[in-house]
Amino acid sequence: MGPYRLVYAADRNRRAIERFLLGIPRNERVLLVGKLESLAVNPKPVQYRMLRPPVPIEGYLAPHRLRVGDYRIFYDIDESAKTVVLIGIRRRHEHTYR
């Protein structure tokens, strides 16, 4: 466990992320879960990007994006509370950032 705490933006975001992870191949799921857990240690890894403008997902704005192969993890960082707020995961395609 790192210096940051992982939380979901809302319960519906948690359910959406869990459903998404269950719908992809096991090897890709293991990779994504490992990257999610690594955000608790370093919320700004090399593949991280700040999004301008933030991407709207499930009623929340995702200002940060982590690229993991064909997938994108969208999240926010609350430095004062030392939390990483998970907003969503999407497969990269033409509608990812809309």
Q: What is the pLDDT of residues 43-72, one digit of tens each?
A: 999 989 999 999 998 889 999 999 999 999
- How much of the chain, in percent, has pLDDT values that exceed 70? 94
Q: Tell me the pLDDT band of 93, cut-offs 50, 70 and 90.
A: confident
Read off the tokens for 80: 């004062």
Helix (H, G, I), strand (E, B) or coil at 48: strand
Residue identified by tokens 């993991």 is: 68
Task: Identify which of 47, 64, 46 has the alpha carbon closest to the alpha carbon of residue 55.
Answer: 64
- Rounded CA separation 98/83 (Å): 25
Q: Is-above-0.75 flag for pTM?
A: yes
